[in-house]
Structure 1
Amino acid sequence: MGNHKDYKYWTFFMRKLANQIHEAAYKRYKDSRVTIFLCGAGDNDEGSIRQQIAEYLPELIWYRYAYQIVFAEEIFENLLLGHSRQDLISLESILAESVDVILIALESYGAVAELGVFSSHKELRKKIVCVVNREFKKDKSFINYGPLRLMKDTKEGKVVFADFDDIASEMANIRKAIKQVAQKSEKPSGVSNIVDAYLYVLSCVYLLEPIIMDDLIDLVMHASNKEKKVAEALTRTAISVLTRRKDITISPNGIELTPSGLETFHELGTSGTKGYTFDLESMDSIRMRILNWQLRDKPLHSR
């Protein structure tokens, strides 16, 4: 890391710190919601099937607590537009690995491309719920003879042929398919799950603020055991989530919690309303060790 005078010790310190924070952040973590990566037409297409599914899926109160719906463009906005731009297909694959269900409304060329990518990946194919216009069920098309037949032959994922003119009437079938796929689905836990990575980054900011982006990426890399490119995607995605929620501020000095962010941190450590809590006692212990390190005039970043 940079020009730090004792690189080996610094690396050892960061790796140990990264793992301690991870243990404290996810020790009691539990989220019973089904996480759904919803694909289809672009977010600017008013009245799209994807948009309608997003509205109808959680329309009953119980389902609002049963599902967590995520969209690639919201999570990856900064990574697609920023200086460290990465391609959407690679990013979507990281996201797909982190969810229970990949729900594809087959209504656009982009959705067809996503179906092709995910259905060709054995582990991701198991997570697919593909909603197809019933009008094209018997068409002799690449879609029917390609990815959909592969799903049928391997008995992996689910295909729902639906009335696209009345998608609301199809929600029971779609929910049934989601349930069947989610029951067999597996996803990583902790910071390596891109949907949940913000919990780890929030903890790091709380303990080390102000912290620079490079140090955050290093902490995520050590905690997740991922290569730097993936660690950067995990970190910047988490930063986007926390920025959108107004939980952090970014300045030339580094990244810091806002009053709202501090409140969020303590709520996650005490309420447990969403099924997970931080281990605040461990967090306080880590913070004391960090303060002792700082009092010995040891820098906590490499600038």
Structure 2
Amino acid sequence: MYTTESTYSRAITPLINSIKRSRVVALKGTPRLFFLCGANKSEGQISYRRKQVKEFLEQQVFNSHVIIAESFFQDYIKNKDRNGTGKINSLDFEHVLSDISEKIIIIMESESAICELGAFSHANLRNKLVVINNSEYEKSESFINTGPIKAIKDSSGHDKVIWYKMAEMGGTGQDAIAHIFPSLSRVLDHTKSVSEIIHYEELDPADNISTKTVLFVHDLIYLMNEVTYKNLVYLIKDIFGSKDFSKLTDIIAILVSLGYIEYPHTYGLMKSCRESAFFRYTDSDERVKSGLFLNMIRKRARG
């Protein structure tokens, strides 16, 4: 804990007060995380269709962050395992997707995409799925149509399954996928206040993993300039009290996998890769940042 007169106390007190009084604001809106599944053109290269959808979302959907699902999965496994928390299988990974994604977009252009549809179409994730499929099979009585796709329609509406005439070229060629962009835009459209208020309970990483808790932990790392895992836990306990923060290792793995922070050594220093925080906490966040940084410098000098 901190003392009243310490540099740390002067830096953290306005931060804690703002968080507890629900004065945290996302000035530019909370980033919208879209996981994009489909085929690969070759190893390390996504298909033409995925490339087109990715570019459309990043250019036309405000605040979007498009994530290639399988690449994120591999990075997440590596980062989670590195932190000594054990390996995770692809089924358990569904919970990670459910916790942090707004939508999971599956382009039905490969056998792997069919498998992903089957894995992700259970009740917990169904409302987050958007499926792009070949109109040639729209009237088919196949298991895909009568099973996962029907479940998505029943749960979320028919507009969450988008049909168009796909060319028969796997992930290697080009076709008219741009025809679905207006439909995709309507599915993803929502109006959110730019100055969205983030409440105290939404930020507590002991209670949940969500987009907001992930971005909040990033901001703490950003405000501290660079920080060890141990000192990050101390800061979080000062804000939320002594709780079980075992989910923090998952959040850190997610942040590394998203490219929001660097954590080159398991027990080394974490550092933000961004030039700004996601949320505004006080009227003088730079003063908070400077105070926390000065406190760290003093601690190192005493060490």
Q: Same fold (TM over 0.5)?
A: yes
Are the counterparts in 2 of residues 22 and 223 from structure 1 also a CA contact under 8 Å? no
Q: In the alignment, which of 247, 251, 276 is matched to residue 234 of structure 1?
A: 251
Q: Deviations over 1:45-102 (max 9, x none)?
A: 54343233113444xx5x1535332233444443323444322332343233323222
CA–CA separation in structure 2 for the residues paired with 1:51 and 1:183: 26
CA–CA separation in structure 1 for the residues paired with 2:270 and 2:154: 51
- Unaligned 5+ runs, structure 2: 1-8, 168-175, 193-200
Residues 1:164 and 1:279: Cα distance change in structure 2 (over 3 Å): farther
Task: Look up the equivalent residue of 1:130 and give its one-letter code.
Answer: V
Task: Look up the equivalent residue of 1:50 and give its one-letter code.
Answer: R
Residues 1:93 and 1:110: Cα distance change in structure 2 (over 3 Å): farther
TM-score (norm 1): 0.64
Residues 1:93 and 1:71: Cα distance change in structure 2 (over 3 Å): farther
1:157-196 residue pairs with structure 2 within 5 A?
158-165=160-167, 166-179=176-189, 190=203, 192-194=209-211
Are the counterparts in 2 of residues 37 and 96 from structure 1 also a CA contact under 8 Å? no
Are the counterparts in 2 of residues 54 and 69 from structure 1 also a CA contact under 8 Å? yes
CA–CA separation in structure 1 for the residues paired with 2:296 and 2:145: 61
Residues 1:39 and 1:279: Cα distance change in structure 2 (over 3 Å): farther
Q: In the alignment, which of 15, 19, 26 is matched to residue 23 of structure 1?
A: 19
Task: Look up the equivalent residue of 2:217 and give its one-letter code.
Answer: Y
1:97-246 residue pairs with structure 2 within 5 A?
97-122=99-124, 124-156=125-157, 158-165=160-167, 166-179=176-189, 190=203, 192-194=209-211, 197-204=214-221, 206-207=223-224, 209=226, 211-216=227-232, 230-241=247-258, 244=259
Task: Look up the equivalent residue of 1:20 and give its one-letter code.
Answer: I
Residues 1:36 and 1:72: Cα distance change in structure 2 (over 3 Å): same
Identity of aligned pairs, percent? Answer: 20
Secondary structure of the residue aligned to 1:277 is coil
Offset at residue 131 of structure 1 (A): 0.7
CA–CA separation in structure 1 for the residues paired with 2:33 and 2:224: 28
Q: In the alignment, which of 251, 254, 259 is matched to residue 268 of structure 2?
A: 254
Q: Is residue 44 of structure 2 the alignment partner of residue 44 of structure 1?
A: yes
CA–CA separation in structure 2 for the residues paired with 1:163 and 1:224: 55
Residue aligning to 2:198? none
- Unaligned 5+ runs, structure 1: 1-12, 269-273
Offset at residue 105 of structure 1 (A): 1.0
Deviates more, 1:225-234 or 1:288-297: 288-297
Offset at residue 248 of structure 1 (A): 4.5
CA–CA separation in structure 1 for the residues paired with 2:134 and 2:234: 45
Task: Look up the equivalent residue of 1:78 and give its one-letter code.
Answer: D
Q: In the alignment, which of 76, 79, 83 is matched to residue 76 of structure 2?
A: 79
Are the counterparts in 2 of residues 194 and 237 from structure 1 also a CA contact under 8 Å? no
Using CA pairs below 8 Å that are at least 6 residues apart, which structure has the higher relative contact order? 2
CA–CA separation in structure 2 for the residues paired with 1:257 and 1:291: 16
Are the counterparts in 2 of residues 21 and 204 from structure 1 also a CA contact under 8 Å? no
Task: Look up the equivalent residue of 1:277 and give its one-letter code.
Answer: R
Residues 1:206 and 1:155: Cα distance change in structure 2 (over 3 Å): closer
CA–CA separation in structure 1 for the residues paired with 2:244 and 2:117: 26
- Over the aligned positions, Cα root-mean-square deviation in angstroms equals 4.6
Secondary structure of the residue aligned to 2:39 is coil
Residue aligning to 2:65? 68
More helix by share: 1
